[in-house]
């Protein structure tokens, strides 16, 4: 992992915390915006992650309602569902990143199930772009001096 990727991840965490504080909406996990920004060069992987998250959140919603799961149990279930989904689609979508193919869909699905599709995806995508753009602007500013 390069220094630039670390800065983008850090910016994603920073902007995500600020966004949550101002709106009360989560961005699909603490590391999600930064990881999506780092993988912006792979739009197929990002689309796969977002669509996976939506499908997983539907299954998660059904199971949560049936068994009254919450907190860590709900997140653990989202991780297991995402792992099963990723295992089933590995041959069709052979991405190399474990994060973008498994962890990110689980975190996003967990937040979609908790706060809704619009709030989660709008936060995830907007903060991902702000994270990437802020690091690029900072890099350009430093290069000038």
Full pLDDT tens readout for the chain, 145 residues? 789 999 999 999 999 999 999 999 999 999 999 999 999 999 999 999 999 999 999 999 999 999 999 999 999 999 999 999 999 998 888 877 888 889 999 999 999 999 999 999 999 999 999 999 999 999 888 876 6
Q: Using an 8 Å Cβ cutoff, are 39 and 9 in contact?
A: no
CA–CA dist 76, 19 (Å, integer): 25
Residue-number span of the structural domain to which 110 is assigned: 3-144
Total domains in the fold of the chain = 1
Burial profile 93-116: b = 16 or more Cβ within 10 angstroms, e = fewer? eebeeebbbbbbbbbbbbbbbbee
Q: What is the pTM of this model?
A: 0.93
Helix (H, G, I), strand (E, B) or coil at 100: helix
């Amino acid at each position: 992992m390069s220094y630039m990727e670390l800065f983008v991840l850090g910016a994603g965490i920073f902007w995500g915390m600020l966004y949550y504080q101002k709106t009360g909406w989560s961005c699909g996990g603490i590391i999600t915006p930064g990881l999506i920004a780092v993988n912006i060069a792979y739009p197929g992987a990002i689309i796969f992650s977002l669509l996976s998250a939506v499908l997983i959140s539907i299954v998660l919603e059904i199971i949560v309602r049936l068994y009254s799961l919450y907190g860590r149990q709900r997140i653990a279930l989202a991780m297991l569902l995402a792992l099963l989904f990723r295992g089933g689609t590995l041959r069709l979508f052979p991405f190399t990143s474990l994060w973008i193919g498994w962890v990110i869909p689980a975190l996003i699905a967990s937040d979609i199930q908790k706060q809704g599709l619009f709030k989660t995806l709008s936060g995830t995508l907007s903060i991902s772009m702000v994270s990437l753009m802020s690091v690029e602007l900072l890099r350009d500013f430093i290069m000038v001096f």
